[in-house]
Structure 1
Amino acid sequence: MSNERVLKFPMSEKMFHNINMVTWMILAITGVLIYFKQVGEATALLMMTFHIGIAIVFTLNFVGFVVLNADRFFLMLRNLLIWDADTFAWFKNLGGYPRRLFGIPFGPEEVAPQGRFNAGQKFTYLFFIFMIFGLIVTGWLLYFMAPVLGKTTMVYFFNFHVWGSIIATVMAVGAHLPLAVINIEDFKAMFRFGAGDVPLEDALHHAPKWVENDLVKVSTLEQPLKAHH
């Protein structure tokens, strides 16, 4: 078995993802407890103050990643926005997950070759990016400008902020997290300390078009290969 490895998640992406994950869950939990009145009034006021403080970190994390790591952000967007025939073919068998997880013979056995992200990840991550941006905008507009938004606009923004965040959280916890754990090499690369690399063999299996079209060898001296794009 080859010991060659490829860089899947640069440190900037790992920091953004993990800070985003922690702050998102804190915001979701505090928001749900307040909205559904699961805590007393005094606790709700304290939670809202905490919610706003975490929202500042959440916002700075996203803006910082986009501005300070613009190359990584737009490269990620490029990978997410490539929808070719193989991307759409992924939906014919949903990446083989129904067959693999539940023994359901859905679609063809062979999975169409994918790039850095498969079709399901592309759809999900684009939705998450949209929601991050939308929640930041609506949250701060509601906080700073609610009196001048007008009742109708404020209600629309509020419902988007509450129910959009709930839907996104359900998707993250119910689908994104379990599938990430199943793809254990990606999971370890994202959460362990140090380089976010995966075995070349794993990359060739899950993302052959990414390996073929995007990766370049940058080192072979006494260390596992690291490829980067």
Structure 2
Amino acid sequence: MLSNQRVLKFPLSEKVFHNLNLVTWIGLAVTGVLIYFKLVDEKMSEILMDWHIGIAIVFTMNFFGFMFLNFDRFSLMLRNLFIWDKDTFAWFKNFGGYPRRLFGIKFGPEEVAPQGRFNAGQKATYIIFMFMIFALIVTGWLLYAYPAAIGKVVTKWMFVFHVWASILTTLIAFCAHMPLALINIEDFKAMFRFGPGDVPLEDAYHHAPKWVKEDLISIDGNLKTIK
């Protein structure tokens, strides 16, 4: 029975990367906003900047650690994000059925095109997140270590990008990504609970039928992920 089987969706390396990235992102966002908008006095701003730099070190190590120490998982994640077939684009015809499901808006066809491990909305969002993480790491450390070398004009616009790109990405994460993650509660529990990041096979088949059909294999009667 499908309901009695479970499949690993989030290996430990992905859970550690995601959750440490979440915690450090919040820390960077809070300290950055407090400093930029001058919501604290000058002395506290200096303290918060030290915190910002310290958190940024962990944030940077987490990203590159996952990239290089778990390159197989990182490359598989990128593979899944950059596969855009006809079903991926068809998802946008009704945005995965979420307008109809959440707000009763009859937008597009009722049937949702079958998706892989990530649906089209997740692919677009995660690609933005990955780009922004890398861009914010690069701009942040350049602004901190080499402002004189890159010049005043470049420093100015790099700072503007660093601040507002981080704010925009934070809004996307907390206003769209997290609420939608809560709707798919099995994925949410798999990512955040202690223990294996597995989900019921029935749930995986409902949300990601192409992933179940194409990327899972049976070993000793149990389904294992290969992609």
The TM-score normalised by the length of structure 1 is 0.96
- Aligned residue identity for 2:6: R
Deviation at 1:156, TM superposition (A): 1.6
Q: Does 1:145 align with 2:146?
A: yes
> Percent same amino acid among aligned pairs?
69
Deviation at 1:13, TM superposition (A): 0.2
- Aligned residue identity for 1:39: V
User: Take 2:148 and 2:197, find their aligned partners in 1: how far apart are those partners?
Assistant: 45
The answer for the alignment partner of 2:83 in structure 1 is 82
**8 A Cα contact 1:197 1:226, kept in partner:** no
Q: How many pairs are equivalent? A: 225
Write the deviation string for residues 118-169 of structure 1: whole angstroms up to 9, x where unpaired. Answer: 0000000000000000000000000000011111111121111100000000
**8 A Cα contact 1:14 1:191, kept in partner:** yes
User: Take 1:219 and 1:148, find their aligned partners in 2: how far apart are those partners?
Assistant: 59
SS of the residue aligned with 2:14?
Answer: helix
SS of the residue aligned with 2:133?
Answer: helix
Deviation at 1:226, TM superposition (A): 4.5
User: Take 2:187 and 2:81, find their aligned partners in 1: how far apart are those partners?
Assistant: 17
- Aligned residue identity for 2:12: M
**8 A Cα contact 2:8 2:199, kept in partner:** yes
The answer for the alignment partner of 1:227 in structure 2 is 224
User: Take 1:15 and 1:77, find their aligned partners in 2: how far apart are those partners?
Assistant: 17
RMSD of equivalent CA atoms = 0.9
The 10-residue stretch of structure 1 (155-164 or 94-103) with the greater mean CA deviation from structure 2: 155-164
Deviation at 1:228, TM superposition (A): 1.5
The answer for the alignment partner of 2:179 in structure 1 is 178
**8 A Cα contact 1:218 1:228, kept in partner:** no
Structure 1 runs not aligned, ≥5 long: none
**8 A Cα contact 2:216 2:223, kept in partner:** no
**8 A Cα contact 1:5 1:227, kept in partner:** no
Q: Does 1:95 align with 2:92?
A: no
* Residues 79-228 of structure 1: pairs in structure 2 closer than 5 A: 79-220=80-221, 225-228=222-225
- Aligned residue identity for 2:25: W
Structure 1 stretches of 4+ with a deviation exceeding 3 A read none
Deviation at 1:217, TM superposition (A): 2.2
Deviation at 1:218, TM superposition (A): 3.2
Q: Does 1:36 align with 2:33?
A: no
The TM-score normalised by the length of structure 2 is 0.97
The 10-residue stretch of structure 1 (148-157 or 24-33) with the greater mean CA deviation from structure 2: 148-157
